[in-house]
Each structure stands twice: as structure tokens, then as C-alpha cells.
Amino acid sequence: MPMKIFKTETEDKLTINRIMHARSYSLLLDRKRCIGCDICNIVCPREAIDIEKPAKIEGEKLTPPRINVDENKCQFCGICNTICPFGALALEINDERTIPVLRTESFPQIIHEIEVDTSKCPTDCRECEEICPFDLIKISVDEEKNGVNVDVETDHCPCCRLCEVKCPHDAIHTRKIIFGSIAIKSEKCPGGCSDCVDVCPIPGVLYLSADGKVHVNEFPCIYCGVCKIVCPAEGALEMQRTSVHHTPVHSGAWNKALEKLCSTEGMAKELRSRLIVKAQESVRRRLGKEVP
């Protein structure tokens, strides 16, 4: 049977399929989870992903940008899978979830670091469950241990840290996935425009102030970059990513991806820090003792 490559689109899902006689590939994009940030677009080695800016309709809230994948270019490497902070993409080979670039350590996994110390949780507290903007936390009462189970869908959590901040009992520890900086130049912000506020997935990061301009509360910002995509005023919104929290890896592909996501300096910094760690290790081995 000759190879078939096709794309299927529904309201909630975009599926790319490559069906061969004895091997099938599918890439699924969950549109409910995708916020249109285009991080996948930036790192895709085949430039197979496209982003469509939303059309502005007067008086209505702006819809998020729409991702489109070119089925003829996708090589089913799985890089978009691992890099998406929201876990919106799923790759399957022969109906089994797998990510080829992870198998060969050609790409790192981003670390969704969320730890909940349930021993500190009173059974009636639902603060984190209620604050999570993506409904990823489910609290269930565990009769047996007389406490609660806090189940977090870590794969889809972009680590905005709102739950950590909201928790009154200091039970949650999180860490950002992407580090960076974001600032709005008020003089360039057009005022009366709420495009970035409309598309930002985390409530409270961007907000319209009394002066009609947008201001930013940087703490929960995940540096996804959706605001930058839709901002109509050039130079008004500056967002820079500086580093990514990921599993250790030694890969030219990741170096390139990091450079594209952050900046050349960001990549250089990471390479240097890796070098320092390596140097420390080799001295340690040589001297046979700890090096401060």
C-alpha cells in the first residue's frame, strides 16, 4: 500500500497521520490545551508549524492565535511534544505514545516541577484547585490516611506558580519552566486595547489599568509569548526568555532550539554553565575530593 499522509481537523483536534504498510505515525494537537503561543513553531526543525494571527472583531474578546501543522513537512520527531509547556501535542507510533528524540537523548524533557506535601493540607482546603487557571489540580479526600490526595496533571502544567503563591499552608513547591523577563512600555501601548490581556492564558499577568494602558504582574508569567504575537503596537511589549528548566542533555539540536527560543547569549550561558559543571567533575575525580 503506498504511503498515505493526511490531516484531519475537528473543532477540538488537529491530527496529522502518516500511514505506511506496517507502520503508522500520528501527531495529535489538542486545541483545548493549545493557547497559540508558537513555542513549537520556533523549535520545529522542519518549520512545519504555522501560526495564524487571530482576526480582530470590534467589541469582541480576541481569540487566541491558531496553530497549523503542514502534514507534508512533519517528520514526527516529537520535539514539539517535549517543548510544549502545556503538553498539547501527542505523538504516537504504531498506536503507542513515544517521543523519538527523547529515546536517543537528542532533546531534553522540560521539567514540570510541582511538589505537593499533602501532609500540610487540611482536608477542607481547595485553594490550589480553585486557583489553577487550567483546572489541572484535583483534590480528593483519602479516608485511609486521613488526609487528601492532590493529583496534578503535571504534563500539562506550565508552572505559573499561582498555586504555590495561593497555598496558605506552604505545601506546594514549584519552579518555572521558562525563565525570562517581560515589560510593557507604557508610552507605546496604544491604550484602550486589551488584545494581550484577552489571549494571556494566566489571569492576572496582564491587566488594564485605570490609565487605559496594560500593565504586567510578572510573577505568574510563563513567558509563552502569546501576548507578543497579538500586540498591535510595535515595541510596546518586550518579552525575553533567558533559560529553560530541562533534564540534562548533550545535543546540537537542543543548542539550536535554545538559541531560537531565548537568545544566542542564553544558549552561550547554558553551554558555559555545562562546561563549568564538567570541569568541576573532572577536578573532583582528579583530586578525589570535593571542590567548593
Partner 1 sequence: MAEEPRIGVFVCHCGLNIAGVIDIEALTEYAKTLPNVVYAVHNRYTCSDPGQEEIRKGIDEHGLNRVIVAACSPRMHEFTFRRCVSEAGLNPFLFEMANIRELCSWCHPSNPEEATEKAKEIVKMAVAKARLLQPLMPIQVPVTDKALVLGGGIAGMNAALEMAEMGFKVYLVEKKESIGGHMAQLDKTFPTLDCSICIEGPKMVDVSRHPNVEIISFADLLSVEGYVGNFRVKVRKNPRYIIDDNCTGCGECKDVCPIEYPNEWDMNMGVRRTISVPFDQAVPLIYRINMDYCIECYKCVDACGDRQAIDFSQEPEEIELEVGTIVAATGYDIYLPPEGNLYGYGKYSNVITSLEFERLILAAGPTGGHVIRASDGNRPRTVALIQCVGSRDLNIHEYCSGFCCMYTLKHTIQLKEHYGDDVEVYVFYIDMRSNFKGYEEFYQRALEMGVNFIRGRVSEIIEDPKTENLVIRAEDTLLGEPIEVEVELAVLATAAVSSEDAGEVAKILNITRGTDGFFMESHPKLKPIDTPVDGIFIAGACQGPKDIPYSVSQGAGAAARAATILSKPSWEIEPIVSVIDPDKCRNVKAKCGICASKCPYGAIRVEPGKPAEVIAATCHGCGTCVAECPSDAITQMHFTDAQIFAQIDAALGESAEKKILGFLCNWCSYAGADLAGTSRFEYPPTLRAIRVMCSGRVDRDFVLEAFRRGAGMVLVGACHLPYDCHYISGNWRMKERMEALAKVLEKLGISPERFRVEYVSAAEGVKFASVIKEMSEEMKELGRERIIAENEKVKPYLDRMMARKRPKQVAVAQIRT
Cβ distance to partner 1 smaller for residue 1 or 57: 1
Q: Please tell me the distance from the alpha carbon of residue 42 to that of residue 258, in angstroms, as a whole number.
A: 10
What minimum distance in Å lies between the beta carbon of 224 and partner 1? Answer: 23
Q: Report the candidate in 36, 41, 89 with the shortest Cα–Cα distance to residue 63.
A: 36
Cβ distance to partner 1 smaller for residue 1 or 210: 1
What minimum distance in Å lies between the beta carbon of 95 and partner 1? Answer: 11
Q: Which residues bind partner 1 (CB under 8 A)?
A: 1-4, 18-23, 45-46, 75-79, 100-101, 103-107, 250-254, 256
What minimum distance in Å lies between the beta carbon of 132 and partner 1? Answer: 33
Q: Please tell me the distance from the alpha carbon of residue 20 to that of residue 232, in angstroms, as a whole number.
A: 44
Cβ distance to partner 1 smaller for residue 91 or 163: 91
What minimum distance in Å lies between the beta carbon of 7 and partner 1? Answer: 17
What minimum distance in Å lies between the beta carbon of 75 and partner 1? Answer: 5
Cβ distance to partner 1 smaller for residue 18 or 176: 18
Q: How far is CA 283 from the centre of its chain?
A: 36
What angle (nearest 5°) sits at the alpha carbon of residue 17, between those of residues 16 and 22?
Answer: 160
Q: Residues near 289 by Cβ (< 8 Å), separated by ≥ 6?
A: none
Q: How far is CA 29 from the centre of its chain?
A: 14
Cβ distance to partner 1 smaller for residue 223 or 254: 254
Q: Please tell me the distance from the alpha carbon of residue 53 to that of residue 230, in angstroms, as a whole number.
A: 7
